[in-house]
């Protein structure tokens, strides 16, 4: 199976005190049904997220309305937006369009309402990597950060 390259999108900032900061997001091309939503890998997210607008346009199965952890109810939201737990499948697509993976399982939070900034997005959380036995490879080169997802 081919490695799926990550597209690191960079934004440079300067604070009011003159400190330079760089933010990076690792985007990957996916398809869900006939959709190609914007998608990035969020290594700080334990679960994948499907924004409301994407969730309304795809087939997915409800897997729960609440979360329990050691008998305690855990919040089921994303940045203050109520969510359900759902499941669907996605295909990783090489940017050239020539290679595709088999269907990968995506279980995560499906937003019930719109997010003010991240609509038409899918965020791949850490559970996506473990659920699908995908290796996440990063390399810091003089030319910048590079990486890929390697699907077994």
> Which residue carries 């409301």 as its tokens?
52
pLDDT surpasses 90 at 75: no
Nearest to 126 by CA among 135, 115, 114, 138: 135
Per-residue pLDDT of 91-140, as tens digits, reads 999 988 889 999 999 999 999 999 999 999 999 999 999 999 999 999 99
Q: What is the pLDDT of residue 148?
A: 96
Q: What are the structure tokens assigned to 63, written together? A: 């897997």
May I ask the CATH architecture of the domain 3-147? Beta Barrel (2.40)
Q: What are the structure tokens assigned to 62, written together? A: 């409800």
Q: What is the pLDDT of residue 20?
A: 97
Per-residue pLDDT of 5-14, as tens digits, reads 999 999 999 9
What is the average pLDDT value for the chain, to the nearest integer? 95
Q: What are residue 52's phi and psi, to 5 degrees?
A: -55, -45
First to last CA, the chain: 7
Beta partners for residue 34, in sequence order: none
Per-residue pLDDT of 136-145, as tens digits, reads 999 999 988 9
Q: What are the structure tokens assigned to 102, written together? A: 């088999």
Distance from C-alpha of 102 to C-alpha of 125, rounded to nearest angstrom: 19
What is the residue extent of each domain of the chain?
Answer: 3-147
pLDDT surpasses 70 at 1: no
């Amino acid at each position: 199976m081919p490695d799926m390259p990550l597209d690191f999108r960079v934004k440079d900032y300067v604070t009011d005190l003159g400190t330079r900061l760089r933010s990076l997001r690792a985007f990957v091309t996916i398809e869900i049904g006939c959709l190609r939503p914007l998608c990035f890998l969020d290594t700080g997210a334990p679960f994948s997220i499907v924004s409301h607008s994407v969730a309304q346009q795809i087939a997915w199965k409800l897997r729960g309305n609440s979360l329990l952890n050691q008998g305690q109810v855990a919040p089921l939201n994303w940045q203050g937006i109520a969510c359900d737990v759902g499941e669907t499948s996605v295909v990783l697509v090489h940017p050239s369009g020539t290679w595709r993976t088999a269907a990968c399982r995506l279980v995560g939070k499906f937003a019930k309402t719109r997010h003010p900034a991240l609509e038409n997005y899918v965020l791949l959380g850490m559970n996506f990597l473990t659920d699908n036995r995908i290796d996440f490879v990063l390399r810091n080169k003089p030319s910048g950060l590079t990486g890929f997802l390697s699907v077994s």
